[in-house]
Amino acid sequence: MFDDHTDVPSSSPSRFRAAAVAFTLAAVILQGALAQAQHRPTHDIVKSSRGMVVSVSGPASDAGAAVLKQGGNAVDAAIATAFALAATYPAAGNIGGGGFMVVWPGDGRPPMAFDFREKAPAAATQEMFVNPAGRSAHRRVGVPGTVSGLALAHEKLGTKPWKELVDPAVKLAANGFELDQANASQISELLKDSTGPEHAELHRVFDKPGGGDWKTGDRLQQPDLARSLERVRDRGVDGFYKGETAELIAAEMKRFDGIITTEDLANYQAKQREPVRGTYRGYDLVCMSPPCSGGITLISILNILENFEFARDERWSPRTMHLFAEAMKRAYRDRARYLGDPDFTEIPTHFYSKEHAREWAKGIDLSRATPSSTLAGDIKLAGESEHTTHFSVVDGKGMCVALTYTLESSFGSRVVAKGAGFILNDEMNDFNWMPGVTDSTGRIGTAPNLLAPGKRMLSSMCPTIVLKDGKPWLVTGSPGGRTIINTVLQVITGMIDFGLTAQEAVDAPRIHHQWFPDKIRAEAKFHQQHADVVKILEGMGHTFDRVARQGDAHSIWLNPETGDAESGIDPRISGKASIP
C-alpha cells in the first residue's frame, strides 16, 4: 500500500494543502458518520433461496420469476425478463437495440459472455458523421443485436422451450400493462420532444388514446409490437432478421435516408466471448470483454484503488473521494487510448495489469487533483447516453446472470419502423465520429473506436459477477453511458471496502469522472449530504457538475453464510425484486 506521506510532494505548498485537508477532516468524518447512522435503505430487502430477478420493471421481474418457478434456470429467466422489458420499459428495454450478458453457469463450467452489441451497416463510412448534415436519426441506427444474443444464450444454456420464454412478452404487449410513474412521465416527455415526419410512427404507437399525458395506472397496449414478438416467438432469430420484420425495418430506412438493409439484418450474428477476469482485495470479478469497455475499465480502476487502504477512512471522506476521482480519470484515459471492437482492433493487456496500476497510483498526489491534460501521453488533444437498463438474475442452483442492454439514448433514435411497433437504437452515436479529435469537452477521436462497416461500437456497459472464495457473491450492473462503470465500481467498493449491504451500496450517492471533461460529476444527493467534502475537494483543485441521478444498479447479493439471494433494488427510476 502507498502511504500518504510518501505520495505527497515535499514542497511547502503541498504540505500546507495537506495540513489544511487534515485540519477539516475530523469534522467531515463526524458529519459523515452521523449521515451514515441516519441512513435507511430505500427498499425492504427481499430474500430467497429459490432464485430472484431484480429489474426496473415489476411485470418484467415477475415474468422472469415465473420462469424460475416453472423450473427454468437463470438464463431462461433472463431471456423472459429481457423480452418482457421490451414491452414494459420502452425507454431502454428492447428488441431494436443490443447489449451484453455475463453468465456464471454454477455447474462447474467456466463463466460465459455473450456479445450482442449492434453493428455498423455495410454502407457506413468512417467519416459519415463528420458533417452534421449526415447525422439524421435514421442514419444513427445500428444493426440490432438483442434477439440474436438472447437466442445464442438460449442455444448454449437454456432449458425451457424458446416459445415459453417469449410468450409472456407477447401477452404484455397485446393485452397491455399498467404504467408506473416512471414510464408514464418518460413516455409523455418523449412525445412532447419528438416532432417531425420521422417521428410520426412513434406518435401513432405511443400517443395516448384520446390525447393528453399518460398517467400512473393508464394501460399501454402495443399490438404491432405483439405481432413482431409473435414472429420472434414462432420463428426464432429468423422471425426478426428475415421476413416481415426485417422488411419493415429496411423499408423504414429507405423512407428517411437510413442505410440498414435486409442484407445487414440477415448477416448479423451475436458472439460468445471469453469474459475478462480481475481481482480486488481477494474477490474475483467476472466481467464482459470488449467491445464492452466496462469490464476492463472497472478492473483498471480497482487495480489502482487496491494500492490504497480505505479501512481507516469514512466512506465519504475527502481522501476516499479524491482517490476515486483520480483512479477513474486514469482508467478512462486508457479506455480512450486502447479499447474498441476486438474483431477490428488488437487490444493489449498490459494497461489493465496490476503493474500498470501501480505506476498510475504512484503518480497520484493525495493533496491535489491531477489535471486530466497531463495524463494524455501519446493521445493528441484538440482545442454516451443515460438510458440503458440492467437486471440481475440468480436461480436456486447457483447459476447467475448479469444482463445489460440498451437503445443508447432514452428511447434510442425515437424511430419506429412503420408497422413493427418497436423503437430502434441510435448506437452509431457510440463510435468516435471525428477521427483524431480528442478534446477537453469529452469528445474522443482515437483510432480503436472509429467507425467501420460491420464494426461493433465501443460500449460502457458493465454487467459484472463478483466471486468470493470461488462462489458468486454479487451480481450487478447499471445503465448510464460512460457513468456505468463508476456506478458499478461504487456498488462493489461500498460493499467490499465499507461493509455496506447491497441495498445500502445501491442507495448511496454516486460520483463520476471520465478523464474529460476534467470535472467530477456528482449526484444532487451527494452535494446535499456532503457539502463540506465538496468544498474541500474544490480546494484540492477538483471542479464539480451536479446531476439529478446516476445509474440504476439493480443488484443481487448472495449471502455466503445462508446461500440466500438478497436484493439491492435501485430507487432512482423504479424497480422490483421478484422471487419464484
Active site residue 388: yes
Burial of 210 (0-12, 13-18, 19+ CB in 10 A): exposed
Whole-angstrom CA distances from 141 to 91, 282, 412 are 15, 42, 8
pLDDT tens-digit series, residues 453-473? 999 999 999 999 999 999 999
Report the alpha-carbon distance of residue 503 to residue 437 in Å, rounded: 41
- CA-closest candidate to residue 339, choices 325, 327, 349: 349
Predicted local confidence at residue 444, as pLDDT: 83
pLDDT confidence band for 10 (50 / 70 / 90): very low
Whole-angstrom CA distances from 495 to 268, 280, 340, 502, 552 are 39, 12, 30, 7, 17
pLDDT > 90: what percent of the chain?
86
Predicted local confidence at residue 14, as pLDDT: 39
Within a domain: residue 213?
A: no
pLDDT tens-digit series, residues 287-339? 999 999 999 999 999 999 999 999 778 899 999 999 999 999 999 999 999 99
Supply the CATH number for residue 490's domain.
3.60.20.40
In whole numbers, what is the pLDDT of the chain averaged over residues? 92
User: Which of residues 58 and 133 earns the better pLDDT score?
Assistant: 58
- Annotate 409-460 with DSSP letters as a single string: STTTT-EE-TTT-SEEP-GGGGSB-STT-EETTS----GGGB--TTPBPPB-
Strands 219-220 and 177-178: antiparallel
Q: Helix H segments across 92-243?
A: 146-157, 162-175, 181-193, 200-206, 223-235, 238-241
Within a domain: residue 305?
A: yes
Is 481 annotated as contributing to ligand binding?
A: yes
User: Which of the following is catalytic: 388, 389, 404, 487?
Assistant: 388
Number of H helices and number of E strands within the chain?
19, 23
Predicted local confidence at residue 100, as pLDDT: 98
Is 17 annotated as contributing to ligand binding?
A: no
- Give the residues across from 465 on adjacent strands: 286, 475
pLDDT tens-digit series, residues 62-115? 999 999 999 999 999 999 999 999 999 999 999 999 999 999 999 999 999 999
Distance between start and end Cα atoms, the chain: 45
Cα dihedral 453→338→391→504 (10° resolution):
-160
Q: What is the pTM of this model?
A: 0.92
Report the alpha-carbon distance of residue 328 to residue 152 in Å, rounded: 34
Within a domain: residue 515?
A: yes
| Residue pointed to by grid coordinates 467519416 | 127
- CA-closest candidate to residue 291, choices 452, 488, 526: 452
| Residue pointed to by grid coordinates 412532447 | 192
Predicted local confidence at residue 23, as pLDDT: 34
| Nine-digit cell string for 12 | 511547502
Residue type at 25?
L
Report the alpha-carbon distance of residue 387 to residue 121 in Å, rounded: 23
Residue 50 and residue 172 in contact, taking contact as beta carbons nearer than 8 Å: no
Task: State which residues form the domain around 8.
Answer: 1-128+271-580
226 φ/ψ sector (left φ>0, alpha ψ -120 to 50, else beta): alpha
Within a domain: residue 368?
A: yes
Within a domain: residue 201?
A: no
Instruction: State mean pLDDT over 237-246.
Output: 98
Predicted local confidence at residue 313, as pLDDT: 84
Predicted local confidence at residue 56, as pLDDT: 98
Predicted local confidence at residue 21, as pLDDT: 39
Indicate whether 165 pLDDT > 50.
yes
Within a domain: residue 320?
A: yes
Q: Which helix (H) or strand (E) holds 27?
A: helix 12-38
Instruction: State mean pLDDT over 242-269.
Output: 98
Residue 332 and residue 482 in contact, taking contact as beta carbons nearer than 8 Å: yes
Predicted local confidence at residue 31, as pLDDT: 43
Predicted local confidence at residue 34, as pLDDT: 38
Is 148 annotated as contributing to ligand binding?
A: no
Report the alpha-carbon distance of residue 367 to residue 7 in Å, rounded: 9
Is 430 annotated as contributing to ligand binding?
A: yes
- Give the residues across from 58 on adjacent strands: none
Is 96 annotated as contributing to ligand binding?
A: no
Q: Based on the structure, what is the number of domains in the chain? A: 1
pLDDT confidence band for 576 (50 / 70 / 90): very high
